[in-house]
C-alpha cells in the first residue's frame, strides 16, 4: 500500500523528532501517520543539535554523542512527567503511574506505566474516549520474575512498563460486535475502535467500511464480510503519541494452530523513547528498578541489547 520510508531505526530521524518535541509546548510527537514512524530528519540537524548543546552546557560540536543523548533524553522524560495532569503526578519516590483502562466484560484492568511514559498514553486515551471509543486493558507492567512463554519474550518492553496490551479478547472474536476491529496491514495489524454516542459530548468519527476484518476463525479476514460503523483508527492515534505496533509472530497467519497469544495486535510500545544505536534494554530497566532488584531476573539474564541493532 504505502511505500513511505520506514524510519523505525533511523537515528537522525529520531534526533529530529526529539528536537521538535522539546520545542513543542505540548510535547507533540512529530510522526509520519502512514508508517507510524519518525518523519525524515530536518535538513539543518547539525545546527539544531549544536544549539541544543550550547543551551545545555555541552560542547557545541553538533555531534550527537552519548552526553548529548543523555541530556536530551533526561530533559524529555522530565518534561513528559511535568506535563501529566496534577492528579496523575507520581507520588514521591514512585516511578509508576496507574491509568484506568475501560471495563470490558468481566475484566477491568489498569495500565501501570512508567511515569515518563504515562503522559503519552493518557493523551491517546483522552482522544479515543472523546470519540466514543473504549480502551480496555490486558495490562502493561510485567513482574520481573514472570515466566517466559510463547507470547512472552525475555526482552519484552513490558518489563520496564514501556508497553501496554489492549484486552486480547476485545477484538478478533466477532468483528460485527467487538469494541476493537482488526485488519491486516502489511506485516502488521491495524486496530480500529468502534465508537458510540456513549455520552452527549462524544464527537463520533465519520462512518467507514472496514474490509476483511480478522477473527480467530479467519485470521486474515479473507472470507469476512466488511463491517460498517463509526470507527477511529486506533493504530494511528497511538502512533500520534509515539507508540508503535509490533507484527504477529511468524506463523500466526499461515498456521491456524499457532497460539492466539502470539497475534500481538493488542501490543503497543513507546518507541519515540528509543534512540537507535543509543538506547539499551538494561538502561530502560534501570529507569524503573535498581541493579539489586534486577539481579538474576529473566530480563537481566537475557543480557543487554541496543535499540535498532539487536533490541527490537
Q: How far is the CB of 295 from Zn ion (least distance, A)?
A: 24
DSSP per-residue string spanning 80-130 = HHHTS-GGGSPPTT--EEEEEPPPBTTB--EEEEEHHHHHHHHHHHHHHHH
- Does 271 interact with Zn ion (rule: CB under 5 A)? no
Nearer to Zn ion, 30 or 139 (CB): 139
CA nearest 26: which of 157, 112, 132, 126?
Answer: 126
End-to-end CA distance of the chain: give it in Å, rounded: 24
Distance, in Å, from the CA atom of 58 to the CA atom of 240, rounded to the nearest integer, reads 31
- Does 165 interact with Zn ion (rule: CB under 5 A)? yes
- Does 167 interact with Zn ion (rule: CB under 5 A)? no
Phi then psi dihedrals of residue 285, to 5 deg: -65, -40
- Does 122 interact with Zn ion (rule: CB under 5 A)? no
Nearer to Zn ion, 49 or 121 (CB): 121
Nearer to Zn ion, 189 or 267 (CB): 267
- Does 155 interact with Zn ion (rule: CB under 5 A)? no
Residues 6 or more apart whose CB falls under 8 angstroms from that of 291 comprise: none
Nearer to Zn ion, 53 or 269 (CB): 269
Stretch that binds Zn ion, among 73-81, 202-210, 211-219, 261-269 (CB under 5 A): 261-269
Nearer to Zn ion, 230 or 245 (CB): 245
- Does 142 interact with Zn ion (rule: CB under 5 A)? no
Stretch that binds Zn ion, among 51-59, 109-117, 264-272, 296-304 (CB under 5 A): 264-272
Q: How far is the CB of 245 from Zn ion (least distance, A)?
A: 10
- Does 267 interact with Zn ion (rule: CB under 5 A)? yes
Stretch that binds Zn ion, among 65-73, 121-129, 163-171, 226-234 (CB under 5 A): 163-171
Q: Which long-range contacts (CB under 8 A, 24 or more apart) does 170-177 make?
A: 170/104, 170/134, 170/136, 171/265, 171/266, 172/214, 172/215, 172/216, 172/260, 172/263, 172/265, 173/215, 173/216, 174/215, 175/210, 175/213, 175/214, 175/215, 175/221, 175/224, 175/227, 176/227
Nearest residue to Zn ion, scored by beta-carbon proximity: 267
Q: How far is the CB of 165 from Zn ion (least distance, A)?
A: 4
Binding site residues, Zn ion, CB under 5 A: 165, 267
Amino acid at each position: 500500500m504505502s511505500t513511505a520510508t520506514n524510519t523505525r531505526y533511523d537515528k537522525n530521524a529520531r534526533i529530529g523528532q526529539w528536537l521538535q518535541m522539546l520545542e513543542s509546548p505540548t510535547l507533540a510527537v512529530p510522526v509520519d501517520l502512514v508508517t507510524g514512524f519518525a518523519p525524515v530528519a530536518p535538513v539543518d540537524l547539525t545546527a539544531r543539535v549544536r544549539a541544543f548543546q550550547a543551551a545545555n552546557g555541552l560542547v557545541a560540536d553538533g555531534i550527537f554523542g552519548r552526553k548529548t543523548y543523555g541530556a536530551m533524553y533526561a530533559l524529555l522524560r522530565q518534561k513528559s512527567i511535568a506535563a501529566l495532569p496534577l492528579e496523575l503526578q507520581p507520588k514521591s519516590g514512585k516511578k509508576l503511574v496507574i491509568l484506568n483502562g475501560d471495563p470490558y466484560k468481566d475484566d477491568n484492568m489498569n495500565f501501570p506505566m512508567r511515569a515518563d511514559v504515562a503522559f503519552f498514553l493518557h493523551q491517546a486515551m483522552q482522544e479515543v474516549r472523546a470519540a466514543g471509543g473504549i480502551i480496555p486493558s490486558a495490562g502493561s507492567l510485567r513482574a520481573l520474575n514472570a515466566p517466559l512463554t510463547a507470547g512472552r519474550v525475555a526482552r519484552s518492553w513490558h518489563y520496564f512498563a514501556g508497553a501496554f496490551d489492549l484486552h486480547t479478547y476485545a477484538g478478533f472474536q466477532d468483528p460485527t460486535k467487538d469494541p476493537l476491529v482488526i485488519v491486516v496491514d502489511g506485516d502488521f495489524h491495524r486496530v480500529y475502535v468502534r465508537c458510540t454516542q456513549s455520552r452527549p459530548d462524544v464527537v463520533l468519527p465519520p462512518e467507514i467500511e472496514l474490509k476483511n476484518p480478522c477473527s480467530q476463525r479467519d485470521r486474515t479476514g479473507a472470507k469476512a464480510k466488511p463491517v460498517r460503523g463509526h470507527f477511529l483508527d486506533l493504530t494511528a492515534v497511538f502512533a500520534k503519541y509515539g507508540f508503535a505496533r509490533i507484527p504477529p509472530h511468524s506463523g500466526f497467519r499461515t498456521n491456524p494452530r499457532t497460539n492466539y497469544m502470539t497475534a500481538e495486535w493488542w501490543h503497543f510500545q513507546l518507541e519515540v523513547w528509543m534512540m537507535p544505536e543509543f538506547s539499551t534494554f538494561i538502561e530502560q530497566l534501570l529507569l524503573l528498578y535498581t541493579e539489586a532488584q534486577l539481579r538474576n531476573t529473566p530480563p537481566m539474564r537475557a543480557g543487554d541489547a541496543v535499540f535498532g541493532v539487536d533490541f527490537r
